[in-house]
Structure 1
Amino acid sequence: MRTMWKGSINFGLVNIPINMYTATENKDISFRQLHKKCNTPIKYKKTCPNCNEEVKEEDIVKGYEYEPGHFVILKEEDFAAIQSDAQFKGIEIVDFVNLSEIDPIYFDKSYYLAPQENGGKAYHLLREVMNTSGRIAIAKITIRSKQSLAALRVYKNALVLETIFYPDEVRSIDHVPGIPQDVNLDKKEVDIATQLVDTLTAEFNPEKYTDEYRSALRNLIEQKVQGKEVHVAPEAEHKNVIDLMEALQQSLKETTKEKKKAATPRKRKTTAS
Structure 2
Amino acid sequence: MHAMWRGSVSFGLVNIPVRLYKATDTGGIHFRQLHKACRTPISYKKFCPRCHVDLSQDEIVRGFEYARGEFAVVEDEELDAFQGRRGETIDLVQFADAGDIDPVLFQGAYYLAPEASGKKAYRLLWQALRASGRVGVARMTLRSAESLALVRASDADGNVLEVHALAWPEDVRSTAELPYVQEAVAVDAHELEVAETLIRQLTKPFVPDEYRDESRVRLEAWIAERRGEAEAKTKGAEASGEVVDLMEALKKSLELAKQDAKPREAKRKKRKTS
Do the structures match in fold with TM over 0.5?
A: yes
Is the 1:61–1:73 Cα contact (8 Å) retained in structure 2? no
2:37 counterpart of 1:26: no
Is the 1:93–1:139 Cα contact (8 Å) retained in structure 2? yes
User: Which amino acid letter does the alignment assign opposite residue 210 of structure 2?
Assistant: K
What is the Cα deviation at residue 243 of structure 1? 1.7
2:261 alignment partner in structure 1: 259
Higher mean displacement: 21-30 or 249-258? 249-258
SS at match of 1:249: helix
Q: Please, what is the CA RMSD of the aligned residues?
A: 2.6
Closer/same/farther in 2, CA of residues 25 and 253 from structure 1, 3 Å limit: same
Is the 2:86–2:140 Cα contact (8 Å) retained in structure 1? yes
What is the Cα deviation at residue 98 of structure 1? 1.0
What is the Cα deviation at residue 194 of structure 1? 1.1
1:8 alignment partner in structure 2: 8
Gaps of 5+ in 2: 268-274
TM-score, reference length from structure 2: 0.85
Tell me the alpha carbon deviations over residues 121-170 of structure 1, each in whole angstroms, 9 at most, x when there is no partner.
21122122212221111111112211121111100111111111110111
2:210 alignment partner in structure 1: 208
User: What is the aligned length?
Assistant: 264
Distance 2:151 2:74 in 1: 34
Higher mean displacement: 207-216 or 49-58? 49-58
Tell me the alpha carbon deviations over residues 171-225 of structure 1, each in whole angstroms, 9 at most, x when there is no partner.
1122322214322111111111111111111110101111100011111112222
User: Which amino acid letter does the alignment assign opposite residue 82 of structure 2?
Assistant: Q
Is the 2:66–2:72 Cα contact (8 Å) retained in structure 1? no
Distance 2:235 2:131 in 1: 54
2:36 alignment partner in structure 1: 36
What is the Cα deviation at residue 84 of structure 1? 3.4
SS at match of 2:130: helix
1:117 alignment partner in structure 2: 116
Among 245, 248, 253, the alignment partner of 1:246 is: 248
2:272 alignment partner in structure 1: none
1:87 alignment partner in structure 2: 86
How is 1:105-254 mapped onto 2 (pairs within 5 angstroms)? 105-156=104-155, 157-226=159-228, 236-254=238-256
SS at match of 1:173: coil
Closer/same/farther in 2, CA of residues 224 and 153 from structure 1, 3 Å limit: same
SS at match of 1:30: coil
Is the 2:176–2:182 Cα contact (8 Å) retained in structure 1? no
Gaps of 5+ in 1: 266-273
Is the 1:46–1:54 Cα contact (8 Å) retained in structure 2? yes
Is the 1:224–1:230 Cα contact (8 Å) retained in structure 2? no
Q: Percent identity?
A: 38
What is the Cα deviation at residue 7 of structure 1? 0.9
Is the 2:6–2:88 Cα contact (8 Å) retained in structure 1? no
Distance 1:15 1:234 in 2: 56
TM-score, reference length from structure 1: 0.86
Closer/same/farther in 2, CA of residues 171 and 93 from structure 1, 3 Å limit: same
2:270 alignment partner in structure 1: none
Higher mean displacement: 171-180 or 192-201? 171-180
Is the 2:65–2:72 Cα contact (8 Å) retained in structure 1? no
User: Which amino acid letter does the alignment assign opposite residue 27 of structure 2?
Assistant: K
